[in-house]
Amino acid sequence: MKTLAGKPFAIHICQALSEKKGEDIRLLDLRQCCAPSDYYILASASSEPHLQALADHVTDLLGPAGYPPLHRDMTKGSGWYILDYFDVLVHLFTKEKRSYYDLEDLYSDAPIETYVEKSPAVPEQTIKKRIKRPRKTIPKKKATTSRSKRSR
């Protein structure tokens, strides 16, 4: 991985969140605002375990590449995890906590980009349709009833 900083680094984190099905990923450019960081990334998770998986995926991806977070606040049950990469602060929320804290409204003056991963177009001929084959029917055997005579 090349040296990343600023917006390319933030976009790389957005891609990592998208890989793990992060929802409603937003990139806020706060360079013109009075904020503790240049960029905020906001993403929602569907549950607490999903929240943990998103945070773990970002740190597992960036840590070995030489980008460990400077600080992280990942209190279980809080519904809000923060990963601090100095230029970029990653805010991961459950949907309830995200609507409660509403950081997008707090920084409404900042340019906000919605991150949507572009899926590659799949040529139609590469799509394989599953063909249902008729089942083979096995003829049923006739039951033979032979009663043996018992002698008493």
- Residue 48 inside a domain? The answer is yes
| pLDDT number for residue 52 | 94
The domain of 58 spans 8-116
| pLDDT number for residue 89 | 94
Hey, which of 14-18, 102-106, 121-125 has the most confident mean pLDDT? Answer: 14-18
Whole-angstrom CA distances from 132 to 128, 129, 137 are: 12, 9, 15
Cα separation, 16 vs 9, in Å, equals 11
- Residue 52 inside a domain? The answer is yes
- Residue 146 inside a domain? The answer is no
**Tokens representing 150?**
């018992």
- Residue 112 inside a domain? The answer is yes
* pTM of the complete model: 0.72
- Residue 101 inside a domain? The answer is yes
The amino acid that residue 24 corresponds to is: D
- Residue 148 inside a domain? The answer is no
pLDDT in tens, 30-66: 888 877 889 999 999 999 999 999 999 999 999 898 8
Whole-angstrom CA distances from 46 to 11, 54, 58, 69, 112 are: 21, 11, 17, 23, 22
We report the CATH number of the domain holding residue 55 as 3.30.460.10
pLDDT in tens, 67-119: 899 998 988 889 999 999 999 999 999 999 999 999 888 888 888 888 776 54
Give how many domains the chain has, as a whole number: 1
- Residue 128 inside a domain? The answer is no
Count of Cβ atoms closer than 10 Å to residue 35 Cβ: 16
One DSSP character per residue, 27-42 reads EEE-TTSS-SSSEEEE
- Residue 107 inside a domain? The answer is yes
Contact 41, 15 (CB under 8 A): no
